[in-house]
Amino acid sequence: MSGFAEPRAFERDRDLARVIRLFADLHAATPHPDYQHPGGMEWWLRRIVKDDFKVFIWDDGDDIAGFVIDDAGYVIPRTADRAVKSRLQLIAWAERSFRASGRTTLELAAADDEPELREALLARGYEGSGSVSVELVFDVRGEPQVPALPMGYRLATLEDLGDDSYVELHRAAWSTVKPSEYDRRLHDIVTSMPDFRRDMVPVVLAPDGTPVAYGIGWFDGRTRTVEIEPLGTHPAYRKLGLGRAIVRDIHHRSWACGARSVMVWGGHANVAATRLYTSSGMEPRRTVRDYRRAL
């Protein structure tokens, strides 16, 4: 496809699986795979029902040539040809679209190992926003350590748990700063994603059977990699090592399904989460920075 004109609106039934497949294609590309794991994007795409979340599609016959995800001003542009020139065309379109609708800033990301893209963004007037994410990776070289739990606690999976109980746990774990938006509608979208597996959602149960910690492991069969997204512990049960047990259980489940590695994104501002992952044997690899431009 030689150029990108105006996109069409996203159609969930037609486009969702194709957008996820393109993320998977880009993540599996060599020698420079996209840093976005398809599983993490399946989690992100739960927001397709929100008013401030939009997806725009450029077609190339029966295939998707490119798309722009606009999550409340945070933009994710991708093209099938992987060319920086093509991605910049989508970014230029997003800038024009934002200006036309009266929005004044646009934010997006680039990895440190994408120098051509970063230089082009700086030339367009983008500046680092200060938000930095580090890819933390556990290489699966043999059977990982079996997680240890405090006496009376045990591991289950979402297969053993009611969905409403799981939603309640997620909301409790992610409502410390502000109320979580997660509800049964979003949960049903997550569980319908093509790579979602209930047996890859370990849950720690307290001695009385209460669900108190959980995580989702997203297995990508093409690259034999897993992303952890999200992970949380009920505030009343923190500092018991339950989050670390979930991480290590996902490592073990990933080994059992043939994964070569497990990754997670650690935010520079979340020191506790980064410490949790690194203490579980996950090591830093790629760094991704957010860039913002005033329009």
Q: Is residue 293 part of a domain?
A: no
Tell me if 5 sits within 8 A of 16, measured CB to CB.
no
* Average pLDDT, integer, range 88-98: 98
Q: Which of 85, 108, 131 is the last residue of a domain?
A: 131
Three-state helix/strand/coil letters over 212-235? EEEEEEEEECCCCEEEEEEEEECH
Partners of 133 in the beta sheet? 267, 288
Q: Is residue 84 part of a domain?
A: yes
Q: Is residue 249 part of a domain?
A: yes
Same domain as 70, residue 105: yes
Specify the pLDDT at position 249.
Answer: 98
What's 102's domain CATH number? 3.40.630.30
Residue 269: how many CB atoms within 10 A of its CB?
A: 11
Specify the pLDDT at position 268.
Answer: 75
Specify the pLDDT at position 269.
Answer: 75
* Average pLDDT, integer, range 187-212: 98
Same domain as 282, residue 147: yes
Q: Which of 63, 97, 131 is the last residue of a domain?
A: 131
Each as own residue / partner, the long-range contacts of residues 230-234 (CB below 8 Å, 24 or more positions apart, any chain) are 230/43, 230/170, 230/174, 231/264, 232/169, 232/170, 232/173, 232/174, 233/173, 234/169, 234/172, 234/173, 234/210
Over 90: is that where the pLDDT of 1 sits?
no
Q: Is residue 207 part of a domain?
A: yes
Q: Is residue 3 part of a domain?
A: no
Same domain as 248, residue 165: yes
* Average pLDDT, integer, range 176-185: 96
Q: Is residue 164 part of a domain?
A: yes
* Average pLDDT, integer, range 66-93: 98
Mean pLDDT computed over every residue of the chain? 96
| pLDDT tens digit sequence for 40-57 | 999 999 999 999 999 999
H helix intervals, the chain: 12-28, 38-44, 84-100, 115-123, 163-173, 184-191, 242-256, 271-278
Same domain as 119, residue 35: yes
Over 70: is that where the pLDDT of 2 sits?
no
* Average pLDDT, integer, range 284-289: 97
Q: Is residue 2 part of a domain?
A: no
| Domains of the chain: total | 2
Range with the poorest average pLDDT among 167-176, 225-234, 263-272: 263-272
Same domain as 144, residue 124: no
Q: Which domain holds residue 233?
A: 137-288
Same domain as 91, residue 225: no
Beta strands across the sheet bearing 225-233? 8-9, 53-60, 63-71, 74-79, 105-111, 283-294, 127-139, 261-267, 225-233, 211-220, 202-205, 154-157
Range with the poorest average pLDDT among 147-151, 193-197, 260-264, 270-274: 270-274
Same domain as 278, residue 144: yes
Q: Is residue 81 part of a domain?
A: yes
Same domain as 45, residue 127: yes
Q: Which of 72, 96, 131 is the last residue of a domain?
A: 131
Same domain as 181, residue 40: no
* Average pLDDT, integer, range 272-278: 93
* Average pLDDT, integer, range 49-77: 97
Specify the pLDDT at position 123.
Answer: 98
Same domain as 181, residue 60: no
